[in-house]
Structure 1
Amino acid sequence: MPDFTASPLVDALEENLFSLLEKLAAEVNTEALPLIDLSSGSPDQPTPPEVIDSLQSAIHRRENHGYPSFWGKPQVREAIARFYRRQYDVELDPHSEVAVFQGSHIGIGGIPRALLSPGQYLISTDPCYPIYRSAALQSQAAFYGLPLRAENHFLPDFNDLPREVADKAGLVVLNYPHNPTGALATPALFASALQFARRHQVPILHDFAYAAIGSAASDAPLSLFSQPDAKAWGVETYTFSKTFNMAGWRFGFAVGNASIIRAFKKLHTHSYSTVFGAIQDAAIAALNLPAERIAQLTAVYHQRREWVLRRLAALRWPARDAQGTFFLWLGVPPGYRSQEFARLLLQEANILVAPGTGFWRRGRRIYSHQPDRRGRGAEQRAGPSCPAGAVLVRRREKQKRNPGRRGLPG
């Protein structure tokens, strides 16, 4: 069978971090010791029953058996506009300022392609969600990551941008609550981003994937549109995966500046498929859920995050409290690189984590979205504490090793 060569663009793409971790999880020998997978951010809570009931009813409607509109049903776009008015006090035109698609990856990957020109810069953060880097590459643009530092609460400083990068800026991509650090945006951050956008005439894409997951002890996460005139300069993408526990349903949307939405919609008609009508009907049911349901989800993740932080403190492992998302961004024990320590956890204790190098240059993270029983299992396997936050991983003498495991990203 011929072995054909991938295009230069595909050849230049990094292997997707999460597809690699999925392969690693499949290759782990679990006969003697079950795998504890802390690498995936897929919510473990059930989809609300009202949403499931809506889908079951919508499947039988003849209108949903044909091709859906490229733009999405008017009813779902109107429901999105009502949701944003209720949650964020933002007025949206459902026809010109809303786009729907099959999961937020299509939005955060497609909007850069719809806006960037070759040679421009996509400006984001270091670390960041890996798709932003690949979106720049697919747009024939360069990527620049503003460094995030703990002393600055993992918020970027636009004054750190070199002049030659700022002058060639084509798009700013922000993501708060932040993946992977868990930091929350402040009004000052969005104000400085908008100031940069106005000065350089650059649009902003805000990936609001973790909009519903703040801290029970803090205010709700901020929308970019909490700032005056922000809609004139940017768009915000939203996913149902986290807010409504609908990761497998693949539904997301973008809202904001009409010219950006128009450019993305044009690209969408050439590059992507439409959303099954019954899924759109179920999305309307989700958007109409009372706000208290979202608050309950936030409380669940806050309780789990607090439990993990208490156990890390007992291990004398320094950790900052993440204000948002269900991630913790942790330093690794002295003497290790992130991928080496992640490999050690996998080989010695069957615990899979995402090494921080997959998010660019800094750190390692773990998830706190898993139920307490899984967290307790990870704690028991990690073993006793030692100085400087190092974790001694106990060997499992009865565990059968798989010598052919793939390496972790470095």
Structure 2
Amino acid sequence: MIMYASRITSLPPYLFAAIDKAKQEVIKKGADVINLSIGDPDLPTPPHIVEAMKRSVSNPERHRYPSYEGMLAFRTAVAAWIKKTMKVDLNPEDEVLTLIGSKEGIAHIPLAFLNPGEVSLVPDPAYPVYNIGTILADGKPHKMPLLAENDFLPDLDAIPARVAEKAKIMFINYPNNPTSATASIKFFEEVVDFANENDVLVVHDNAYSEMTYDGYKAPSFLSVNGAKEIGVEMHSLSKTYNMTGWRIGYAIGNRDILSGLGKVKTNVDSGAFEAVQEAGIAALYGPQDCVREMNGVYKERRDALLAGLKELGFEVKPPKATFYVWTRVKGSSLDFSRMLLEKAGIVATPGVGFGEYGEGYIRFALTQPVDRINEAVERMRKLGI
């Protein structure tokens, strides 16, 4: 009999794999499914990035093993982009680390800093990988509830002293997935104070920094005084440049933390394909009109969905960032999402799939054109929702 390790059997089913399986079952029955669940951009990667990839992939020098930390040219492009967009100074040689997508870095960083039984502070609801990475490192996740009454920010004062003493890592994520909440510089300053008081490393997931609306600009955690002494920030090209399938991202910040993450990476992967890194260089140095145009498309979709949901009586707040709409529902979020899928052919993500404090909410992703979003609203109206 094949027995899995306890760290595997203790993992919850990966949320989006379960959703995809349920979606496929409905499609097999002939339903026209409108998928508003997973945060995978439906817009194509901008042409100048694709062209850079085409040129690079034909270069035989790119067919060999890449460097573990990433091409210096890519890390230099990252440092220049961060300086330009977020006013944060970085040394590309040791304050930037190339990742095979930010998910990889998030999942691996607990392996570098958590001993068995040590604690990571994990938001709830949240992107599942903060919790999963902790479990795979034999650590213990401690939930930080994200509640509407606190604008979906963790209450740092509510973390018990005995937990704070054992904590080694804190994960935060703003603009936030799934709630689409944003954080102020003041909140980041409080996180730095907490980290210093309790000797905790901070990992800020900033994958949605450029996906913003209505004049809002998302700050970098590293722009706060003292943040670079205790933390790192994870970035991804996936959402900013519609490159989810390309698997390219980076971590920036404290050189010692990045060194620890790098030691894990050198032992478990061989670095990102250099042709993809060269495409990333084209994205970071190239024209940024594509980002503004993308945000215009998502804003139009956001406004269409918000108008429809409000008409139907949903309690919803217009998000200033991300391409998610987080809304309350009555009763079980799992039952509600199942009803949407089976009776209306709409795939939405149940809030409880992001953690127990996500119960009572549904997350819609703005990954369909306006006409399909309007069609989804019409289907819900016909159901009497």
1:64-83 alignment to 2 at 5 Å? Answer: 64-83=62-81
CA distance in 2, matches of 1:318, 1:65: 52
Where does residue 285 of structure 1 map in the other structure? 282
Deviation string, structure 1 residues 143-188 (Cα, Å, up to 9, x no partner): 1122222222111120011111111111010000000000011111
Residues 71 and 100, structure 1, Cα contact 8 Å, conserved in 2: yes
1:247 equivalenced with 2:239 (yes/no): no
1:387-406 alignment to 2 at 5 Å? Answer: 392=384
1:229 is matched with which residue: 226, 241, 244?
A: 226
Which stretch shows the higher mean deviation, 119-128 or 241-250? 119-128
1:21 equivalenced with 2:19 (yes/no): yes
The offset of 1:324, in angstroms, is 1.3
Where does residue 274 of structure 1 map in the other structure? 271
Residues 81 and 93, structure 1, Cα contact 8 Å, conserved in 2: yes
Q: What residue ranges of structure 1 are gaps of 5+ in the alignment?
A: 385-390, 394-410
2:90 is matched with which residue: 89, 92, 95?
A: 92
Where does residue 407 of structure 1 map in the other structure? none
Higher helix share: 2
Which of the two has higher C-alpha Rg?
1
1:337-356 alignment to 2 at 5 Å? Answer: 337-356=332-351
- Residue 339 of structure 1 aligns to which amino acid in structure 2? L
1:357 is matched with which residue: 327, 352, 356?
A: 352
Structure 2 SS opposite 1:125: strand
CA distance in 1, matches of 2:193, 2:116: 24
CA distance in 1, matches of 2:163, 2:287: 44
Deviation string, structure 1 residues 373-399 (Cα, Å, up to 9, x no partner): 220121121125xxxxxx626xxxxxx
- Residue 343 of structure 1 aligns to which amino acid in structure 2? R
1:157 equivalenced with 2:176 (yes/no): no
Residues 117 and 170, structure 1, Cα contact 8 Å, conserved in 2: no
Structure 1 SS opposite 2:244: coil
Q: How many residues align?
A: 382
Seen in structure 2, the aligned counterparts of structure 1 residues 201 and 104 have a Cα distance that, compared at 3 Å, is same
The offset of 1:212, in angstroms, is 0.9
Where does residue 168 of structure 1 map in the other structure? 166
Where does residue 257 of structure 2 map in the other structure? 260
1:104 equivalenced with 2:102 (yes/no): yes
Structure 2 SS opposite 1:107: helix
Where does residue 57 of structure 1 map in the other structure? 55
Residues 65 and 270, structure 2, Cα contact 8 Å, conserved in 1: no
CA distance in 1, matches of 2:289, 2:364: 27
The offset of 1:30, in angstroms, is 5.4
Residues 154 and 183, structure 1, Cα contact 8 Å, conserved in 2: yes
Where does residue 399 of structure 1 map in the other structure? none
Residues 236 and 250, structure 2, Cα contact 8 Å, conserved in 1: yes
The offset of 1:230, in angstroms, is 1.2
The offset of 1:109, in angstroms, is 0.6
Which stretch shows the higher mean deviation, 292-301 or 253-262? 292-301
The offset of 1:51, in angstroms, is 0.4
- Residue 12 of structure 1 aligns to which amino acid in structure 2? S
CA distance in 2, matches of 1:57, 1:32: 41
Where does residue 293 of structure 2 map in the other structure? 296
Identity of aligned residues (%): 35
1:200-211 alignment to 2 at 5 Å? Answer: 200-211=198-209
Residues 326 and 368, structure 1, Cα contact 8 Å, conserved in 2: yes
CA distance in 1, matches of 2:100, 2:255: 20
CA distance in 2, matches of 1:163, 1:229: 22
Structure 2 SS opposite 1:28: helix
The offset of 1:31, in angstroms, is 5.5
The offset of 1:273, in angstroms, is 3.2
Where does residue 402 of structure 1 map in the other structure? none
The offset of 1:5, in angstroms, is 2.0
Q: Please provide the CA RMSD for this pair.
A: 1.4
Residues 345 and 351, structure 1, Cα contact 8 Å, conserved in 2: yes
Deviation string, structure 1 residues 80-128 (Cα, Å, up to 9, x no partner): 1111111111111111111112111111111122111222211121211
| Length-normalised TM-score, structure 1 | 0.90
Where does residue 398 of structure 1 map in the other structure? none
Q: What residue ranges of structure 2 are gaps of 5+ in the alignment?
A: none
1:5 equivalenced with 2:3 (yes/no): yes
Where does residue 32 of structure 2 map in the other structure? 34
Which stretch shows the higher mean deviation, 278-287 or 112-121? 112-121
CA distance in 1, matches of 2:145, 2:258: 29
CA distance in 1, matches of 2:269, 2:319: 35
- Residue 262 of structure 2 aligns to which amino acid in structure 1? K
- Residue 191 of structure 1 aligns to which amino acid in structure 2? E
Structure 1 SS opposite 2:219: coil
CA distance in 1, matches of 2:77, 2:165: 39
Structure 1 segments of 4 or more deviating over 6 A? none
1:374 equivalenced with 2:372 (yes/no): yes
The offset of 1:293, in angstroms, is 3.1
The offset of 1:32, in angstroms, is 4.4
CA distance in 2, matches of 1:171, 1:290: 36
1:214 is matched with which residue: 183, 188, 212?
A: 212
CA distance in 2, matches of 1:316, 1:70: 52
Where does residue 404 of structure 1 map in the other structure? none
